Amino acid sequence: MASAQRIAFGMLDQAPAEAIELRAGPLFARILPLGATLQSLCVPDRDGNVADIVLGFDDVQSYRDRPSWFGVTVGRYANRIAGGRFHLAGRDHVLETNDAPHHLHGGSDGFDQRLWDVADVGSDAGAAWVCLTLVSPDGDAGYPGTLHASATYRLTADALTIDYAATSDAPTIVNLTNHAFFDLGETGDALRHLLMIEADTFLPVDATSIPTGERRAVADTPFDFREPRRIGERVRDGRDDQIAIGRGYDHNFIVRGETGVLRPAATLADPGSGRTMTLSITAPGLQFYSGNFLAAAEPGKGGRLYRQGDGICLEPQIFPDTPNRPDFPSARLDPGETWRSTMRFAFATGQLCRNASYVPAANHNVA
């Protein structure tokens, strides 16, 4: 039987805070209204030992005081918008350039820093869920239109599904995603993980991390994850200009299949624990970020200092800088429409699958 409950969770800005805890089978998730944040996700290993596989903080105030994108909902627009400017419906719109010279993840006061309303908490025999909502007024951070957004977390015995939705009373742009950092082995080195991405092409970027417009084939590059590869094997290959620019992986992959249809996008596996996570998405792209800028500056959960590569992100989204790229999939949302994005993280142990089983062998050397 699944369960969902609201609990007291410390203090936020000198006021009592809460969290929502979801349980289903062996899985557990804790969601914070601040930033509609995935604060904890506990999953069993091959021996049945349950551990938290996402990076973050033990207290809610740290998500306010030390914004690091851990598990938060990113919006109004995930990723970068070049120069903090875009043109829509006959008007130019100017945004904060919080990642100079560009706008990143909705700005310094983006959706990750907002206190979302808890609209619904519930459970039945097979699932537990929470729905959070947020109203972003016209002109918020420079974005046009009053946006009504929702984030629904649904936990079953083998998967966590996140459904995002939004409507607007005027033409606007929207691109919400979750920014969880994963470490399936809880070892402090996610670069040991095996990764497979269902993509034949990716988007190269310029020196400021804005897509050049090229769609480059992954074949014969460090970006070829069409078969399982250890992330750390090529993450520091400075001979590749794109690895050098990003100081590792921080690129959008064009996922095979039809946008709007839930389809496999990536599989992540930790040979040490046996945990495997398969991500299915409806978005056209997947941003793979190898935690290049985790700098061990301040302690996270349990006092642990998160270093470069301690966690990796797989962020379903529309392409970066889409509002300035008419050849990219559109991020426009008009009145009367509903924007939606679904991502499903399914968990298993023991094998990494693609059509047939793939079992990490001893000669893969994940040390």
Specify binding-site residues for beta-D-galactose.
Answer: 79-80, 250
- Are 325 and 284 spatial neighbours (Cβ–Cβ below 8 Å)? no
- Are 221 and 237 spatial neighbours (Cβ–Cβ below 8 Å)? no
- Are 229 and 195 spatial neighbours (Cβ–Cβ below 8 Å)? yes
Distance CA 204, CA 319 (A): 11
Whether residue 337 lies in the annotated active site: no
CA–CA distance from 184 to each of 95, 269, 344, 359 (Å)?
A: 36, 7, 16, 16
Question: Dihedral, CA atoms, 343, 223, 254, 182, nearest 10 degrees?
Answer: 10
Beta bridge partners of 298: none
Binding-site residue ranges? 79-80, 250
Whether residue 21 lies in the annotated active site: no
Sign of the four-CA dihedral 338, 339, 344, 345: negative
Q: Which of 102, 103, 179, 251 is labelled catalytic? A: 179
Q: Which of 21, 186, 198, 315 is labelled catalytic? A: 315
CA–CA distance from 227 to each of 94, 196, 264 (Å)?
A: 41, 6, 14
Question: Dihedral, CA atoms, 260, 262, 263, 266, nearest 10 degrees?
Answer: 100
How many residues are recorded in the chain?
367
Other CB atoms within 10 Å distance of the CB of residue 219 = 10
- Are 50 and 157 spatial neighbours (Cβ–Cβ below 8 Å)? no
Single-letter amino acid code for the residue at 45 = D
∠189-194-200 over CA atoms, to 5°? 130
Kindly list the catalytic residues: 179, 315
